[in-house]
Structures are given as C-alpha cells and as structure tokens.
Structure 1
C-alpha cells in the first residue's frame, strides 16, 4: 500500500484505463507523490493513477469515461466544476497551460486544496491528450497559516507581559492580562502540536528551547534528546555529501547574526538513524524588548517532492527518447516504402500511416513493381512486433521478396516459399504475415486485354475486390501459415478474373483491428465503408476509407495498396495520372 494523503492508502492494483490511453501514462500509475490523469481532447477522462482515484476514496469504474469536470474531485462545488470545464476547453483549443491552486474533494466530501496543472500533450504539431497533474498542498497551507498565528501569538504574548508588569498594582487589569496571555500561549501550543512541518525554538546560542511533535517525528530524535542541545551539531553539522558544514555558513546562524529572516530551499538534516533528509527551512529571529533572543526554525521534508520531480524528469526524458527513436524508425520505414509504378491502364495508390504512440514502431510494409514480362506485382505485409527490430526485419524481408519476385516468373506461392528458404539461409529470423499478388493478362485472350489476379496469402487479412456498384468481395482462401514458422509449409496460388473498373484493396490489420473490436468486426466495418465508394477516384477513395475507419492515429500502423483497373482499348483516364514505367518497360 502507498501513502495517499491524510490517513489514506492506495491499493497497488492493476490500472484500468479506457481505450486510447497513451502507453507512457503507466510511468505515473503507481506514483505516491502526485495526482495524474489523462483526458482526450474533449475532456473525457481516460484514466487516472491510483493516488488520484483509490487514494481519494473513489470507485474507478464510476469515474472513467466522464467529463473531467464532472468527476468526483470537483463534485462539492458548482463554481469549481465550471472553472475546471473552462480550463479544459481553453487548453484543448491550444491555449496556455494552466497552473492554479484550487479546491478539490475526497469521496467522503472532505474539501482539500491542490496545486493543479493542466497541459496539452502533442505529437509533433498535433494535439493528442490533456495531461493533468497535481499535489495536495492542504497541509502546507495550513502550516503557513499556523506558523503565522504562532508568530502573532508570540508577539502578543511579549506585549502582554510588558502591560502586565506596568500594571502590577491593578489586580483586575492584571487578571485580565494574564487570561489573554494564557490564551495566546494556548494558541501557540496548539500550533506547535498540530502542524505537519517541524518547528524549533532556539536560544541565541543555537540551543534547542522547544521542539514540536512533527520535528521529533521527522528527525527521529526525542524531545529529551534535543532540548538544551546544539541543534546544528545534532542534525545539521554535515552537508549532503557527508562533508562538514561550517556553523557560520548555516542559515540558522546567519539569522542569529543578522537579525533578519533567512530562507533556504536546499538544506540537509540528518535523522537519528543516520539517513539524510532534504529540507527547506525558514528561520525567523525572535525579539523581546528590542533584544534578539533567538530564532524560530520551521522546516519541511522534501523527500516526496524531490522524488516526484525526478519522476517527472524521467518521464520527460523517456518521452523525448521515444520520440527520437520513433522519428528514426519512421524515416527508415518511409525510405523503404517506395512510390508505386504507373503501368498502362492500371492505377496504383498507396497509403502508410504510423501508429500514434512514440514507442510503437511497426513492421507494416507494402510494395508494387513490374516484372520484366510486364506483369504487375503487389505485396503487403506485417512483421510481428512494434520496435526498431521489427522495422529492420521488415526491410530485410521486403528486400528478399522484391528481388526474388522480380527475377522469377513463378507464381506467388512459389515465390513465397523461395523467400522463406532464403530468409532461413541468411538468418533473417522473424514472424510475419503477407499477401503476394500478380496481375497478368489472361493467356487465352491476350488481344482483349482481359486480366487475371493470381495471389497467395501467408496468414494475412484477405484482400477485398470492390465493384463499381459498391459490391465487395472478400478474397477468402484456406488459411496458410505465416512467414517464419516452416519454410516448407504448403503455399497455394489462387486465381480470379479481374474486371475493368474494379478496385483491389490490400491492407494491414491496423486498418480494421482495434483493442475494442476484433478483426472480423473491423473487416465488416471496412466493407460497409466501401459501399458507396466504388466509382470514387482512387486517391479520394483511400483518403475517405482512412477518414471513416481511422480518423485519428491508432495503436498500430496502417498500410494500404489499392489498384484500379481500366479498359485497355481506351485512353488512360486523367485521374489515373501519367503512365510512368521503369527503364526497359516503357
């Protein structure tokens, strides 16, 4: 269990998050130092860490999916809800990050105060998420108030003593004065006993005159071990590296010498068990009858705050490193995905969209090229894995397939078998799915230009054939093994007439599969999306398919190869682009 505010603990259970939550968020999941939440750009809460939900007494399932301003943290105040909603709206539109002190509420209705931050997370120039973080500062604010009360009470007590001495002969006035003095001292005692910060009272020589319970708890030294002893020598005599800390450089002694308040944000106290405690301190001189009599030292343990800062720095470094790795892998991947040829009366269009997460580098690939006999080869594939190794394996496998398919007039199935044997002999060990297809003229009617589609599928989603009227045919075949399992696995060629004005679509599973839908449901959605696109220009068709199925970058890469057939007895349509062929085939 991890600490989570006054008297609370956070169960270290596995996080539950809505689809779309970024992978880097897991770094903040177990943080016991700050609240953290991720929202989509509409303000819907995707997930929060344990401290923010269970640590505040809420049920995770009741909070996730709600507008952030409508969650339990703000339920105690309509004004606070409206303010949070305005912050969300402003930052989501690209406004400046928000840093504010705001009330929030625990599940039992207790009002607390948080140092709240809201900022926009981008990928490149594109907004992706809203990240909210915060730290509970209720105790710190209370400490600041009570220390101020203590100082005021001490000043009042000094004044009352002088009044009492001047009116010692007036019994009634003396009794009234003593009653006020008693109340003032009682306030001081309550302050010292209940604040979370450690407080010392030192005399002019730096010896401990009083110590509050928090200072005893934080240092491990009992009050008896501290009273009357030199505070600097007891807990402050060495720097963080263990070297001696000269008394004259100590903030306490600077205040004693100068008579001025001294603030230091980077000091080290040493606990009774010998461990170092990073602290910030405020040293205030005490004056009675115009004479400085000592100082009051208020200090705060910074262990948790510094740990949170380190964790935030590590998260930022991780995000920068992941973004750099992703950019490098994307450049490698894009360099391998060459533009398609433009053979006569065939229009070929391709799309590649990388995954949303910086750490997700896919092995998706496509290819389209012409063989020496004029046949058009199409390939689509997906190497298992989402890292730079997968991208490198994709490049090797694609290169083998391209070279062996170009140099052979064999059918796709035989080419796939040769690729597997070559990969085994060259130690290209990877698992991958893929489809290799060949568009060729019908051997029985060469003059008419009728075409055949010949393809072989190695465990990949089947291609789709779209007719002009919107009819979609799924080119389903008996399942065969993916690459990398058995080089001698049975591979089968399948043959289909390819009519004019039809569109052949080869794609990777990133187009149709999500965490919340399976492959079959995703394929049905794709068939439905294609229903009114049969006569749409090919480039527009691909853009529309991506807009309907993948409006935002998803958790996986998406690769698509599409081919539109045109009659060979008519001129090439203008929308198909120029007729560009490799040297030797034009």
Structure 2
C-alpha cells in the first residue's frame, strides 16, 4: 500500500482510490473472497477492492467516479442497473440495509450471481458513505443444483465433496480477513495505550467499559477501580467550587441523551487525592447496527496550560504597569528638560537619551538658564534610583536648584547648600549627584577678556573642557558629599578660565559606565571619542560622541549639556543659531 493521504482517508496512490476514501477501507482492499466498494451518498464510486475490479476484468480508471449503478458490474441488465439505483437512493436516505441475491456481470459479459449487501456507514449520527459488499455465489448455486441432479442420478456424495471444498476455500479466505482485522485491532489498542490524552469507553448508562493508561495516570484511579463504575459519579460529580454537578447537566450525558458529538472546554475532573483537574473533552457516541451503545470520551489535562495562561496574564499586567510607569516618568522627564537659552557669544546644546525600553527609568537631568545679571547657569544631575519615584524626586530637586540659583547671587556651593536645606525642610527625601556651574566674565575686564567658569561638584563626574585641537581636560576636584545625606556638609567652589572656541561638557555616568568596564576606562573612552571633535559644530559633536559610545540604547539614561564659547568682540557665528534670551534679560 502507498503512504497515507489526508488524515482519516485511505491511501490514494494513482488509480486505486479517489480522495475522500475512508481509512478503514484499506482492510478490505486486498480481500480475496469478498468484493467491496465505497460510494458517496449520491452514488459516486470512490473505490472498490481488487477482487471487485481487476478480479472481474475491469479497468479501474474507467469505473472510479461513475455512479455505482452505471458501473460495469450491472451493464448487462437494465433491470439490475435500475434495481441497484433504487437501493442506493433508499439506503442513502436512511433506509434499512439491503441484503439480496442479484445478478452481476464480468468485463467479458459473463453473468454471475452475488450475495449482495448495501448499507449506510455513519460517523457519529451523520451518514457518510455507502458500503457495498458481496460474495460470488455462482459456483455455490451451481454446486447445489449439482447435488439435486446427483441425488437423482445417485451421485450425491461426489457433489457434497465439491460443495465442501468450496466452503473450505471460503473459510480459508475468511480467516485471512479476520487476521487482518485482528492486526488492525491490535494497532488500535497500542495507540490507545500510548496516546497522551485520557480516553474512556462508556456504556449507554455511563459506566466505564474501557480506560486507557493516560486516564489512569491523570486521575490516580486504577483501572480496576473504574471499570464497571459510573464515570460521572467517580470523577465528575462536583463543580470546581465543590458544589454538586447534576448528571443531567454533564456534557457526557448530553451526548448519551442526544446521540450527538459534544465538545466541552471548561470541565473539572476530580483526582483520587481529592484535587481538581481542569479538562477539555470531546464526547463521541458509539453506534452498533444503528443503535447507540455508549460514548467515547477523550480528555486533556489543562492544569499546566491554565498555569501558563495565568502566568502570562500576570506578566502582561506587570509589563503594562511597568510600561505605564515608564511612559509617565518619560513624560515627566521630557517636560522638565526645557530647551536651553542662546545668550550672546555662547552656544548651548543638550541631549537626553533614555535607557533601553527594557531598563527602568532613571533620574538624570540637565538644566541651563540665565540669571538676571546675564550670567549663564548650567546644572547636571543624577538622582539615585531607577523608578517613577526617582523621576519624581528628580523633578522636585531640579525645581529647587533652578529657583534658588535664579533668585540668588550666591556661589554654586552656596546654592547647593541652600537646596539641601530646602529639600530637608520640604521632605524631599532623595540622594543625588550633581554639578552646578556659572559662566561669568572676569570682573573689571573689557568685553574681549577671558570668561570664568565657577562650579561646585556634589559627588558627580567632573566637567570636561575640550580645546579646538582635541585636548580634553578633566576639571577634577577633591571629592565632596553627594546631595541628600548631610545638608551641612562643606561645599567648595572651583574656578577655571573658559577660553574662546573651547567646549565645556557636563555629562551623567550613563555615557561612560558599562557593566564590562570601570569608570576610569569609560572616562578614557570618552576623552578618546572627543579627540577629533574639537572644531566640529556643537550639535554634530554631541551626535557623533553618542553614536561612538552608545550606538544602541544603554542600560542607563544619559544627559549632556555642552557650551561652546565664541569671542565677544565679533558677531555671533551662524553655526550657533540665533540669539535667544528669556524676557527681562539683556
């Protein structure tokens, strides 16, 4: 035989059977004593076995696909053809099976006699096929006639021996067919024994007639504890909450009552140890000679699937909550990261890059604004923590520093101290690192003179000064305490010259820190990345250094504020963009 075709159909090598032939037909295909044919309900011949076609001299390709009554077996008699047509239509409509003796014909026109049967094959309650079977009894009838004649002639013993020989041959081929059916049954039993789903065979009263090993394993009841017992009462008599489950509402009993296949995807079986097992099941009625004799129940344990679904739902909820918090924090950060001013002869550029989507939100921020006297204030900071609370604390601390620095002519160190005291008094409980810097002119020096940078560092990375030739200077100072620990901790101011055409950079540690390198190595990589950018336009400089150090989003936020200085005795360069000052600042 050839390999199986679509699931549930018999092998369909070229010329043997048409698509749609049932799989069970294969048992009959090689029968040497019984001819068999399978037809659709409209009479179209799907297949017939070797004995019926080739064994009778017919060409298989000429017979398949024709109406059964138009095939060659009935071609020698219009009456036989009409009789077969009527039988097919009556049986297909649900009539009783036909058992009759009828004539049929071989391909050479020879007339033969058959013990013929035509019956309806159902799957569940639904008619599916017409099955025609029969045996050529011509020789048997001839033998019986010979007996009668032999009696008259005194030769009865000889005729009986001929009939006995014919019967012996019939029994021999019948034994071959029974052996094939036994092998098919053995295969079915092996399948039932090894399939992962639980399978029950129940009689018409719902008692267990068969239970496979998987059902025994899943329920915990041994086979002998189940066989002969009411399945519903044993494992299905209670709902998930423990309340009684009436037999009349059980899907198994609905299938027994209606004779229809029932699918139930939310049922509960109870194991021997008293624990509940969620199951889905399919209940298929079994029929014998048109009478329902019980059902076959196939079920699957949904415990692991339900647990996985619950875990997936919980993870989805956590993910949605995290995404919502992240979105809120991002909006908070973005709302606070205002565009920088553009004072005369200074170009200020900023960048903020959030961490990778999977990472938690951080508390990095920058700020740049002008004081009433025209001095430029720069701030960079990083609140400890990676959540929405850190982002909220960052917003409070940034607001304090901005307000106190604007409304004070105190030094950067004094502003940090005031901000810490205000945070303590307002119960802004957070720790952060930060640098506050002020760009101002030398006192009593002409406009063309040198600018000063004055700053104070609270445990943050040092500012960097990039010269046009690419030289990078770290403005390192003695380490001082971060914000949020001791508001009375000593703070120091530091001063450095800020020459024309130089670039000042304040950055957060997300730009230089990695899991695989330490801070010193990261700072060295930053200095190297800046080495050929001293004369690049400021916006291009920031984009390039980010691309070199962070080609992809990192595990931490990154904030940068950079200032490029230009000579005050010359017009503002076009690359610095238009001058932009807040109201009231000259």
SS of 1:495's partner is strand
Q: How does 1:461-472 map to 2 (within 5 A)?
A: 461-472=461-472
Residue 400 of structure 1 aligns to a residue whose secondary structure is helix
Which residue number in structure 2 is paired with residue 197 of structure 1?
197
What is the aligned partner in structure 2 of residue 548 from structure 1?
Answer: 548
Using the TM superposition, name which of 263-272 and 249-258 deviates more.
249-258
Q: Structure 2 CA distance, aligned partners of 1:408 and 1:396? A: 18
Preserved contact between residue 201 and residue 297 of structure 1 (Cα < 8 Å): yes
Counterpart residue number, 1:501: 501
**Equivalent position of 1:133 in the other structure:** none
Deviation at 1:359, TM superposition (A): 5.8
Residue 319 of structure 2 aligns with which residue?
319
CA distance in 1: counterparts of 2:536 and 2:239, whole angstroms: 74
Deviations 1:251-295, CA, capped at 9 Å, x for gaps: 322332333332222221121222221111122222233332222
Residues 197, 300 of structure 2: 8 Å contact kept: yes
Secondary structure, aligned partner of 1:469: coil
More deviation in 251-260 or 279-288? 251-260
- Secondary structure class of the residue paired with 1:278: strand
CA distance in 2 between counterparts of 1:313 and 1:191 reads 36
TM-score normalised by L of structure 1: 0.70
Looking at structure 1, the residues matched to 457 and 466 of structure 2 have their Cα atoms a distance apart, in angstroms, of 19
Query: What is the deviation of 1:177?
Result: 4.2
For residues 298 and 168 of structure 1, the distance between their equivalents in structure 2, rounded to whole angstroms, comes to 43
* Partner secondary structure for residue 365 of structure 1: strand
Q: Secondary structure at the match of 1:579?
A: coil
Unaligned runs of 5+ in 2: 1-5, 11-21, 35-134, 136-165
Match of 1:333 in 2: 333
User: Between Structure 1 and Structure 2, how many residues are aligned?
Assistant: 439
Structure 1 residues 254 and 218: CA distance shift in structure 2, 3 A: same
1:408 is aligned to 408
2:360 counterpart residue number: 360
Q: Does 1:389 align with 2:375?
A: no
Tell me how far 1:569 sits from its aligned partner. Answer: 0.2
Confirm or deny: 8 A CA contact 1:322 1:358 kept in the other structure: no
Aligned mates of 2:7, 2:240 — CA distance in 1: 30
Match of residue 422 from structure 2: 422
User: Aligned partners of 2:390 and 2:475: how far apart in 1?
Assistant: 27
What's the CA shift for 1:182?
3.4
Identify if the C-alpha distance between structure 1 residues 393 and 313 changes in structure 2 by more than 3 Å, giving closer, same or farther: same
* Secondary structure of 1:350 counterpart: strand
CA–CA separation in structure 2 for the residues paired with 1:526 and 1:168: 101
Does 1:274 find its partner at 2:277? no
Deviation, 1:468, is 1.2
Measure how far apart 1:240 and its partner are: 2.5
Q: Report the CA distance between 1:174 and its aligned residue.
A: 5.0
Equivalent-residue separation in structure 1 for 2:526 and 2:378 (angstroms): 20
Judging changes above 3 Å, is the alpha-carbon distance between structure 1 residues 389 and 426 closer, same or farther for their aligned structure 2 residues?
same
Residue 385 of structure 2 aligns to a residue whose secondary structure is: coil
Name the residue aligned to 1:238.
238
Any gaps of 5 or more consecutive residues in structure 1?
A: 1-143
Contact (CA 8 Å) 2:447, 2:569: kept in 1 or not? no
- 8 Å CA contact 2:256–2:295 kept in 1: the answer is yes
- Give the direction of change, closer, same or farther, for the CA distance of 1:548–1:197 in structure 2 (3 Å limit): same
SS at match of 2:338: coil
Q: Which residue of 1 aligns with 2:440?
A: 440
Q: Which shifted more, 267-276 or 200-209?
A: 267-276
Relative to 1, partners in 2 of residues 1:168 and 1:260: Cα closer, same or farther, differing over 3 Å?
farther
CA offset at residue 446 of structure 1? 3.7
Q: By how many angstroms is 1:152 displaced?
A: 7.0
The alpha-carbon distance between structure 1 residues 430 and 168, as it changes in their structure 2 partners (threshold 3 A), is: farther
Given that 1:256 and 1:294 are in contact with CA atoms closer than 8 Å, whether structure 2 keeps it comes out as yes
How many angstroms does 1:218 deviate by? 0.7
Q: Would the aligned equivalents of 2:468 and 2:501 in 1 still touch at CA under 8 Å? A: yes
TM-score norm. by structure 2 comes to 0.70
Paired residue secondary structure (1:420) = helix
| Aligned partners of 1:470 and 1:533 also within 8 Å | yes
1:574 maps to which residue? 574
| 1:346 is the counterpart of 2:346 | yes
TM superposition shift of 1:536: 1.4
Counterpart CA distance in 2 for 1:155 and 1:306 is 40
Which aligned segments of 4 or more residues in structure 1 are displaced greater than 6 angstroms?
Answer: 151-157, 166-169
Q: CA deviation at 1:567?
A: 0.2
Contact 1:500/1:567, CA 8 A, preserved across alignment:
yes
Q: For residue 532 of structure 1, what is the aligned residue in structure 2?
A: 532
Distance 2:25 2:261 in 1: 16
CA distance in structure 2 between the aligned counterparts of 1:195 and 1:510, rounded to whole angstroms: 56
Report if the CA contact (8 A) 1:168-1:174 is conserved. no
Q: Distance in 1 between matches of 2:245 and 2:446?
A: 95
How far is the alpha carbon of 1:435 from its aligned partner?
A: 0.6
Task: Please report how far the alpha carbon of residue 386 of structure 1 lies from its aligned counterpart in structure 2 after TM superposition.
Answer: 0.7
CA contact (8 A) 1:326 1:358 kept: no
| Alignment pair present for 1:211 and 2:211 | yes
Deviation string 1:94-126 (CA, Å, 9 cap, x unpaired) is xxxxxxxxxxxxxxxxxxxxxxxxxxxxxxxxx
